[in-house]
Chain A
Amino acid sequence: MTTRGRRSRWGAAALTLTLALAACSDDDGGEGADPTSEDGTGGETEDSTGITLVQEGSALAAIQERGSVRCGTRDALPGFAVLTPDGDHVGFDADFCRVIAAAILGDAEAVEFVDLATEARFTALQSGEIDVLVRNTTWTAGRDGSEGATFLQPTFYDGQGMMVAADSPYQTVADMDGATVCVAAGTTTEGNVASEFSRLGITPTEVLSFPEPELIQDAFIAGRCDGWSSDVSQLTGLRSEFPDGPEALRILEDVFSKEPLAPAVADGDTELAQAVEWAIFATIQAEEFGIDSTNIAEFAESEDPLIRTFLGTAEEGGTFDPGLGLPPDYAVQVITQVGNYAEIFEEHLAPLGLDRGLNTLWSEGGLLYAPPYR
């Protein structure tokens, strides 16, 4: 599961306090957390019909004024974000922060990364400490509804799976009646295992939870676990670095929970939500058009009207501005400075041994589908 709950002890007390505060601030309406309401710089955009939409103190305007995007990530999630010895933030989530910065500000490096513990992530979003949360976070109804977060287009569709020893007799989860399953503590993984087993009408002997993946690995090697359950993206990574080699393990076909990992912005700010959402769509749309960071120059003179619109190429009637508050060439900035979806995936998640799976284009049977840009 995507929630690393190792620090729940520390955060529980603090959260009680801040959540109470969050509840209070809800009474004041959404404007309470607006960073720029004092100096009166409202976001101002003109849509194609000429109607001026003014939103007092929009977070998007604040980002543009500040010149950087505050992006909440977690620097200890291999593949999604890690801190290199040089102090750079590298990974799939980190790159989507850059995508957002490239789209809004035209500069992929204009990101202030805020490393967030699991417990602090939604509070940081609600309080305006971060603009966007791109932190390996599963979009659920509860979080959408009661954490003050608006979830946007998922960047990665994950799901919980089961890993077993290659020479074990289990072919599906349904075979695992009476098996011992090991999971990471403090996540919803444990509950998902229990509900999947009861749905299948079987019972595990025991569900053992461990605070660290390394400890599960030790327990697995020692033969204490028959199955090892976590998100497939996690399992793939863990399998690739298994001491006896990845061949010693097998990930079952069953995926028994839906874990759409999606970025989120604070509730009540449609402008920023739209900008972030279309920044992500741009990476998907670019892949669909076959545009990547290496060949984008070839598309500058493209005759395809859809591509011309998408890249903001100048037309006789001026460039197309859908009124999203993004510069007309935002897609070009995203693709040249960061890349399209396929490039980001190949750079960060493929090395973990992950297949595209559900995360392929709709035209190839996946779930990645960007609404038309017109």
Chain B
Amino acid sequence: MSTAPMSPATWVRHNLFRNRRDAITTVIAAVVVGWVVFQTLRFVFGTARWEVVRANLTLFLVGRYPADEQWRIVAVLIAAAAVAGLVTGVLTKRRRRAAIADDAPLPPLPFARRLGLIGARYWPALVLLLVLLLLARTSTPWVVAGAVIVAAVVGRLVGGALPPKVGIVLYALPVVLPFVALPFLTGPLGWDDWGGMMLTILLATVSMIACFPLGLLLALGRRSTLPALRGLSIGVIEFFRGVPLVALVLMSDVGLGFFFPRDALPGRVVRVTIAFTIFTAAYVAEIVRGGLQSVPRGQTEAAQALGLPPVRMMALVVLPQALRNVIPALVGQFISLFKDTTLVFIIGFLDVLSVADNVIQQPDFRGQGLFAESLVFAAALFWVGAYTLSRESQRIERRLGVGSR
């Protein structure tokens, strides 16, 4: 900010009531916003009957995952929190050391300030967590939330205390964790009993992680000079971009049964995940191709002049610049994928939206017009996820200096 700080009254006059037209706009906007906020608050805290959400909280979060196996979810949450804490601890320590080496040591932040930063960064998720805990009927979720937080804090402290050499080994942990956690969560049950938010997150994250390398390869393939490779890439990209996602979902679930014996196919969740992955990969490929085209030709020529072989040139010079440029579009695609997973309702998966749709027909709740409550809750779950994704991507952009250098 270049402007000098001004008093609140000056700020209001300057920004909201500068002239008659501004004043009228401000008043109208204030009335509209005030009315919307009032109605929302009245709904959330007054007229809404949240009992339907409360009674079905388990369905919303984990679907039909059997109650006596839910400890598996708790174990994975705790492990994930500990690993996240550990990695953060190691990373922070490294950054501090780097800063000391640069003669610009970072002063340690007071504890309250640190809490404030975490709050500012993750407030939607934290508010949602609080809401979930308040809706819960037993004390178990409180204990679980407490254990997860303790695990994260312990991980962070341990990570900060470790010698830096061990730290490098630790980077493998978050990579290995999903490969351990997924079979552990699937356990004796298979994928097909997954539901609720857990299913949505599974479909979205697995597809997001898997579609990126695939999309990258498709993008490089499309720019290849080998005709067969280029033709194949173009074929895949254009076919999967041209087919509606809902058709792919339906096709992967019921359609494949027309071509292959039903029992020779992978499970339903796996098939649908593959459909989401390929669909998103086709879009990612085009986004990445756009990024590749935005890298000036001189960069390639400079790398060639340095004698870099093609693969290293791509990996060290072109791709880092290309990907940096397309972060907003990529994250937009991922957010879109996250929300598009709700399309699985058409094949009867019990995702968040299906739960929201089904629970209002339970004998205790039907005929009371409770869609608003259950849909608002489902929307809140999605909004928190999508908004957190968006904020984190902006953080990465700031770190990488997108738009400012």
Interface residues of A (CB under 8 A from B): 7, 10-11, 13-15, 17-18, 21-22, 24-25, 32-38, 62, 66, 72, 75-78, 82-87, 112, 114-117, 119-120, 123-124, 126-129, 212-214, 217-218, 237-238, 241, 351
Closest approach, in angstroms, between the C-beta of B126 and any C-beta of chain A? Answer: 26
Q: In the complex, what residues of B have CB within 8 A of residue A36's CB?
A: 261, 263
Q: In the complex, what residues of B have CB within 8 A of residue A120's CB?
A: 250, 254, 346-348
Closest approach, in angstroms, between the C-beta of B394 and any C-beta of chain A? Answer: 32
**Among residues 324 to 379 in chain B, which have CB atoms less than 8 Å away from a CB atom of chain A?**
343, 345-350, 354-355, 357-363, 366-369, 371
In the assembly, what is the distance between CA of A238 and CA of B369, in Å? 12
Contact of B63 among A77, A78, A87 (CB under 8 A): A87
Which chain B residue shows the least CB distance to A116? B348
**A11-B346, A62-B263, A214-B369 known, 6 other contacts, Cβ within 8 Å:** A7-B346, A15-B250, A32-B258, A72-B348, A76-B361, A127-B255
Closest approach, in angstroms, between the C-beta of B345 and any C-beta of chain A? Answer: 7
Point out which of A22, A34, A35, A37 has the most chain B C-beta atoms below 10 A from its C-beta. A35
Contact of B348 among A35, A82, A115 (CB under 8 A): A115
B317 within 8 Å of A (CB atoms): no
Which chain B residue shows the least CB distance to A352? B363
Q: In the complex, what residues of B have CB within 8 A of residue A87's CB?
A: 58-59, 63-64, 195
Closest approach, in angstroms, between the C-beta of A60 and any C-beta of chain B? Answer: 14
B286 within 8 Å of A (CB atoms): no
23 A-B residue pairings within 8 Å (CB atoms): A10-B246, A10-B343, A11-B250, A14-B250, A14-B251, A14-B346, A21-B251, A35-B263, A36-B263, A37-B261, A72-B348, A76-B357, A76-B358, A82-B366, A87-B59, A119-B346, A120-B250, A120-B348, A127-B254, A129-B257, A214-B369, A214-B371, A237-B366
CB-based contact A25/B258 at 8 Å? yes
In the assembly, what is the distance between CA of A82 and CA of B52, in Å? 14
Supposing A10-B343, A78-B361 touch, asked if A18 and B254 sit within 8 A by C-beta, the answer is: yes
Closest approach, in angstroms, between the C-beta of A111 and any C-beta of chain B? Answer: 13
B244 within 8 Å of A (CB atoms): yes
Q: In the complex, what residues of B have CB within 8 A of residue A14's CB?
A: 244, 246-247, 249-251, 346
CB-based contact B361/A128 at 8 Å? no
**Among residues 51 to 71 in chain B, which have CB atoms less than 8 Å away from a CB atom of chain A?**
55-56, 58-59, 63-64, 67
CB-based contact B362/A18 at 8 Å? no
Q: In the complex, what residues of A have CB within 8 A of residue B192's CB?
A: 112
In the assembly, what is the distance between CA of A218 and CA of B243, in Å? 39
CB-based contact A75/B361 at 8 Å? yes
Supposing A36-B263, A241-B366, A241-B367 touch, asked if A17 and B361 sit within 8 A by C-beta, the answer is: no
Supposing A77-B361, A85-B362 touch, asked if A117 and B258 sit within 8 A by C-beta, the answer is: no
Q: In the complex, what residues of A have CB within 8 A of residue B343's CB?
A: 10
Point out which of B58, B247, B348, B355 has the most chain A C-beta atoms below 10 A from its C-beta. B348
Contact of A238 among B355, B357, B367 (CB under 8 A): B367
B262 within 8 Å of A (CB atoms): yes
Contact of A17 among B251, B345, B355 (CB under 8 A): B251
In the assembly, what is the distance between CA of A82 and CA of B354, in Å? 12
Q: In the complex, what residues of B have CB within 8 A of residue A66's CB?
A: 263
Point out which of A14, A84, A123, A218 has the most chain B C-beta atoms below 10 A from its C-beta. A14
Which chain B residue shows the least CB distance to A114? B348
In the assembly, what is the distance between CA of A124 and CA of B346, in Å? 11
B264 within 8 Å of A (CB atoms): yes
Contact of A82 among B58, B64, B256, B358 (CB under 8 A): B358
Closest approach, in angstroms, between the C-beta of A345 and any C-beta of chain B? Answer: 16
**Among residues 301 to 332 in chain B, which have CB atoms less than 8 Å away from a CB atom of chain A?**
none
CB-based contact B247/A17 at 8 Å? yes
Closest approach, in angstroms, between the C-beta of A230 and any C-beta of chain B? Answer: 13
CB-based contact B346/A10 at 8 Å? yes
Which chain B residue shows the least CB distance to A348? B363
Number of interface residues of B (CB under 8 A): 48
In the assembly, what is the distance between CA of A346 and CA of B187, in Å? 38
In the assembly, what is the distance between CA of A77 and CA of B358, in Å? 9
Closest approach, in angstroms, between the C-beta of B239 and any C-beta of chain A? Answer: 13
CB-based contact A17/B250 at 8 Å? yes
Closest approach, in angstroms, between the C-beta of B118 and any C-beta of chain A? Answer: 33
Point out which of A15, A35, A83, A214 has the most chain B C-beta atoms below 10 A from its C-beta. A83
Supposing A82-B363, A120-B254 touch, asked if A34 and B59 sit within 8 A by C-beta, the answer is: no
Residue-wise interface mask of B (160-175) relative to A, using a CB-CB cutoff of 8 A (1 in contact, 0 not): 0000000000000000
Closest approach, in angstroms, between the C-beta of B125 and any C-beta of chain A? Answer: 25
Contact of B258 among A126, A214, A218 (CB under 8 A): A126
Q: In the complex, what residues of A have CB within 8 A of residue B346's CB?
A: 7, 10-11, 14, 117, 119-120
Which chain B residue shows the least CB distance to A21? B258
Supposing A75-B361, A115-B358, A241-B366 touch, asked if A85 and B254 sit within 8 A by C-beta, the answer is: no
Which chain B residue shows the least CB distance to A57? B261
Contact of A128 among B56, B257, B363, B369 (CB under 8 A): B257
| Those 8 A-B pairs whose CB atoms lie nearest each other, nearest first | A127-B257, A241-B367, A115-B348, A87-B64, A35-B262, A14-B250, A76-B361, A127-B254
Q: In the complex, what residues of A have CB within 8 A of residue B263's CB?
A: 35-36, 62, 66
Which chain A residue shows the least CB distance to B250? A14
Closest approach, in angstroms, between the C-beta of A277 and any C-beta of chain B? Answer: 23
CB-based contact A123/B250 at 8 Å? yes
CB-based contact B358/A75 at 8 Å? yes
Supposing A35-B261, A87-B64, A119-B346 touch, asked if A17 and B363 sit within 8 A by C-beta, the answer is: no
In the assembly, what is the distance between CA of A36 and CA of B264, in Å? 9
CB-based contact A85/B56 at 8 Å? yes
Residue-wise interface mask of B (84-95) relative to A, using a CB-CB cutoff of 8 A (1 in contact, 0 not): 000000000000
In the assembly, what is the distance between CA of A251 and CA of B244, in Å? 44
Contact of B358 among A7, A10, A83 (CB under 8 A): A83
CB-based contact A82/B361 at 8 Å? yes
Which chain A residue shows the least CB distance to B58? A85
Point out which of A36, A85, A116 has the most chain B C-beta atoms below 10 A from its C-beta. A85
Point out which of B243, B343, B358 has the most chain A C-beta atoms below 10 A from its C-beta. B358
Q: In the complex, what residues of A have CB within 8 A of residue B354's CB?
A: 75, 115
CB-based contact A38/B261 at 8 Å? yes
Q: In the complex, what residues of B have CB within 8 A of residue A38's CB?
A: 261, 264
In the assembly, what is the distance between CA of A238 and CA of B366, in Å? 9
Q: In the complex, what residues of B have CB within 8 A of residue A212's CB?
A: 371
In the assembly, what is the distance between CA of A136 and CA of B366, in Å? 18
Point out which of B55, B343, B359 has the most chain A C-beta atoms below 10 A from its C-beta. B359
Which chain A residue shows the least CB distance to B256? A127
CB-based contact B56/A129 at 8 Å? no
Which chain B residue shows the least CB distance to A127? B257
In the assembly, what is the distance between CA of A164 and CA of B193, in Å? 43
Which chain A residue shows the least CB distance to B249? A14
In the assembly, what is the distance between CA of A124 and CA of B318, in Å? 47
